[in-house]
Chains A and B, each alone.
Chain A
């Protein structure tokens, strides 16, 4: 289920009442992630991104831990006013600091806010461009040459959702996934400002074992770079007096070889295929240890492409190919499915 962050709840209860449509109330009929649903990984979406992925603008997204949130559509948000928003947010952060609410934020250090577009990051032409928010510390007078240090970043993105953009009422912008990297106190301040400003609400996204196994299959199927790191599944064994974790790492080539024989149509994944894939891995494990992994809880999936933890923490782009297309689609499903 959805974990509501305490700092967001007060706002969102209020906001949700006024804000229509909330994502959950629209029925977009996304089959992804549900039993026996079928989903095409849009090749166009993949290519669109791949072409631009080398750009410096998105390099910072790679190799960082991102906390996942779902966001309801933003009301009266315009990408033409990003500079003005940055100023307002900057003032808001300063005010919060003065009120002493944000204890963890450095008091004497100035926070600079930058909000920009990431036009490269979208699944299809119809999608809204991703929006990046960055907080950096201004260099102090004493350290003249030092550069600004980014202390927190967060980005909103849209996900191959042609239908979403078409069906969105006027004045609403759909950027349903939000990813944050940095201290939670900053996430809290930035989140509450967006809620006040654009009448939206944020929900922390947990990732279910079912979705984790989808990600495992999806990322395993991606074309491999040489010496790609192994696909690792981490299971936690419930209700033992002492905690017990089982890490099951499969050589990337062997995992892909298995997936390639399971997947029937390249570019498409079905729930049945994901189930067969996981069953195969479980029974190989059982042959050795006589332990039923299906009775434990899958908590983490990690591949060369990306890693995801059930707590809603993801790490992107250990490989530059494919990932965003696959990833964003999955994120969208999560963002919509968990409402």
Chain B
């Protein structure tokens, strides 16, 4: 292995907690069990890394092999990245076509290289039909930079793709095109859903699609009319209405553990409606706002917020949409007298 490669191994190992290094190296499989036994995994981390570094220097292998170790790490620590959900759009008859992974890989690689030039691509298949793709983007000077890494997680039996590009979003259109070509789809669109917990995103996306299958024509989300004027009176709730609220919230949030999201964002392009008594701002243009709720566990927080008297019952349709729809980025526009949650496509 050359020096740059060995150095990248070092950088990758540094991210892994000490007690997990051995297990991840075993999964990696590039170092033999005998070689691993020469390392004292009880010593402090930098010494372990130093010893592995020396071992790696002596074995053949290139940057691609190290990429696999990075995939193993990212698979275990997916929450360290931000993931965005995308949906591949296919025509009905194509959905039944048998998925050939070799064909997928070949087409994906060929198209991406055509579009972006020098990239390193690693694939790793996981047990749940998920194909993990790691892409090392090149620099304008042609060199690939191991620290400019993008990830794609594609579930071959579904139209869903999860992409984590971090800062290198300029490559997104090319990546999307390569995915469309490799999966024989005709387009790809963002689901406006993103977060750190990949499994939660999958839960949200897959659960929603299950529901759609069960009730093939599930009721579309209604346009909810807005109350004519906001009412700032804190309603003195009696017990029965409080119970009713709780029941309604129960129906919305359910009993099962809620998926984990960190934020929800609403772009408000609605009109400002002032209190006639106050005689302020009258403008015909929308009052442009961006509202963002953030929490370590957003849905749980919103659920507990809904139970307080800081929130009026029934829960705002904008908040229930968060649970009922597989997305956490919304654009809200005014439609005559009601608010509309508009879909946006890339």
B312 within 8 A of partner (CB)? yes
Q: Is the CB of B296 within 8 A of A242?
A: yes
Judge whether B289 and A249 touch: CB under 8 Å: yes
| Interface residues of chain B: helix, strand, loop or mixed (majority) | loop
Known contacts A244-B293, A261-B280, A290 near B312 by CB under 8 Å:
yes
Interface residues of A in 227-264 (CB under 8 A from B): 230, 237, 240-251, 254, 257-258, 261-262
Interface residues on B, range: 35 or more
| Complex interface residues of chain B between 276 and 304 (CB less than 8 A to chain A) | 278-283, 285, 287-298, 300-302, 304
CB distance A280 to B300 under 8 Å? no
Q: Whole-angstrom distance from the CB of B339 to the nearest CB of chain A?
A: 7
Which one of B87-95, B186-194, B215-223, B313-321 is at the A interface?
B313-321
Q: Whole-angstrom distance from the CB of B113 to the nearest CB of chain A?
A: 39
CB distance from B262 to the nearest CB of A (A): 11
* Known contacts A286-B230, A290-B312: A245-B294 contact under CB 8 Å: yes
Contact of A240 with B288 at beta-carbon distance under 8 Å, contacts A280-B278, A289-B319 already known: no
Partner of A243, one of B227, B274, B295: B295
Give chain B nearest CB distance to A308 CB in angstroms.
19
- Tell me which residues across on chain A come within 8 A of B206, comparing CB atoms: none
Does the CB pair B300–A242 fall under 8 Å? yes
Smallest CB separation, A21 vs chain B (Å): 43
Binds A, one of B18-26, B50-58, B162-170, B265-273: B265-273
Contacts of B305 in A (CB 8 A): 237, 240, 244, 291
CA separation between A246 and B332, bound complex, in Å?
17
Chain B residues whose CB sits within 8 angstroms of the CB of A285 once the complex forms: 291
Q: A166 an interface residue at 8 Å Cβ cutoff?
A: no
A283 is an interface residue with CB less than 8 A from chain B: yes
Is B213 positioned at the interface, with any CB of A under 8 Å from its CB? no
A63 within 8 A of B: no
**A-B pairs under 8 A by CB, number:** 132
Which of chain B's residues have a CB closer than 8 A to the CB of A247?
290-294
- Which chain B residue lies CB-closest to A252? B288
Could you tell me which residues of chain A, from 250 to 282, have a CB within 8 Å of some CB in chain B? Answer: 250-251, 254, 257-258, 261-262, 276, 279-280, 282
Q: What distance in Å separates the Cβ of B304 from its nearest Cβ neighbour in chain A?
A: 5
Known: A243-B296, A257-B281. A289 touches B232 (CB 8 A): no
Min C-beta distance of B337 to chain A, whole Å: 12
Most buried by B among A244, A249, A250, A294: A244
Q: Which range contains the number of A residues in contact with the other chain?
A: 35 or more
- The verdict on B44 contacting chain A, using a C-beta distance below 8 Å, is no
B234 interface hit (Cβ, 8 Å): yes
Give CA–CA (A296, B308) in the complex, Å: 11
Q: Does B270 lie within 8 Å of A288, measured CB to CB?
A: yes
> Which residues 57-77 of B sit at the A interface, judged by CB distance below 8 A?
none
Instruction: Say whether B226 faces chain A, with CB atoms less than 8 Å apart.
Output: yes
A253 to B279, CA, bound (A): 19
Question: How far in angstroms is the closest Cβ of chain B from A97?
Answer: 30
- Residue B251 CB within 8 A of the other chain: no
Per-position binary interface string of chain B over residues 16-59, scored 1 when its CB falls under 8 Å from any chain A CB and 0 otherwise:
00000000000000000000000000000000000000000000
Residues of A that sit less than 8 Å from B by CB: 230, 237, 240-251, 254, 257-258, 261-262, 276, 279-280, 282-292, 294-296
Q: List 6 A-B contacts (CB under 8 A).
A: A240-B308, A245-B293, A254-B289, A285-B291, A286-B312, A290-B319
